[in-house]
């Protein structure tokens, strides 16, 4: 069976792709890559505010996921597992950087990458990009990726209260940017 099995709604069966990829089927992994690269890149870009670095971090995340594919237990969706790897990869990179190393030029936010987005969505992405590193990281992890303050605190090696304070700061700054 060389074809990817499909669900009733015509979507690629991710579990079948994962199983094929575990058997060193590079084409199956390439399909997994294509399914998830956009969101992985967006996550990395939101966290590091540097397009080139986000591309590197996304690529590194996929390479790491390929190497660790045998460790994927299937308790959660492959995408969730992959996004966790990407999050950890980006956070590891950010820890190695000096605070506030990346100042974003607002012109670096390429609106063409946000296909079929509204002006409000583009404005929100720009406002998120302008947040200070700590506030942006917590905001992205909590509000966009769905992590809890406890999980964020452990990932970033900060107190849970610091995570909450950074989220509050991010929301306050976003409201200022968007008003």
Query: Residue 178's domain spans which residues?
Result: 118-179
Task: Give yes or no: residues 78 and 124 share one domain.
Answer: no
Structural domain count of the chain:
2
% of the chain with per-residue pLDDT over 90: 56
Task: Give yes or no: residues 77 and 143 share one domain.
Answer: no
Question: 82: burial class by Cβ within 10 Å (0-12, 13-18, 19+)?
Answer: buried
Residue 113 inside a domain? The answer is no
Task: Give yes or no: residues 91 and 150 share one domain.
Answer: no
Task: Give yes or no: residues 94 and 135 share one domain.
Answer: no
Report pLDDT for 95: 82
Band (pLDDT 50/70/90 cuts) for residue 41 is very high
Tokens of 136: 């942006």
pTM: 0.70
Band (pLDDT 50/70/90 cuts) for residue 120 is confident
Task: Give yes or no: residues 19 and 69 share one domain.
Answer: yes
Question: Nearest 5 degrees, angle CA 3-CA 8-CA 36?
Answer: 65
């Amino acid at each position: 069976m060389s074809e990817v099995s499909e669900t009733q709604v015509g979507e690629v069966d991710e579990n079948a792709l994962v199983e094929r990829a575990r058997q060193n089927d590079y084409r199956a992994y390439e399909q997994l890559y294509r399914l998830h690269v956009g969101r992985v890149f967006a996550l990395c870009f939101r966290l590091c505010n540097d397009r080139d670095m986000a591309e590197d971090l996304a690529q590194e995340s996929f390479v790491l996921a390929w190497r660790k594919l045998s460790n994927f237990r299937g308790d959660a969706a492959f995408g969730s597992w992959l996004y966790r790897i990407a999050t950890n990869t980006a956070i590891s990179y950010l820890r190695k950087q000096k605070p506030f190393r990346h100042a974003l030029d607002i012109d670096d936010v390429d609106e063409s990458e946000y296909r079929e987005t509204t002006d409000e969505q583009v404005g929100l992405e720009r406002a998120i990009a302008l947040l200070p590193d700590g506030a942006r990281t917590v905001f992205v992890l909590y509000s966009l990726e769905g992590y809890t303050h406890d999980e964020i605190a452990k990932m970033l090696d900060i107190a849970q209260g610091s995570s909450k304070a950074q989220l509050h700061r991010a929301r306050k700054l976003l409201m200022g940017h968007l008003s």
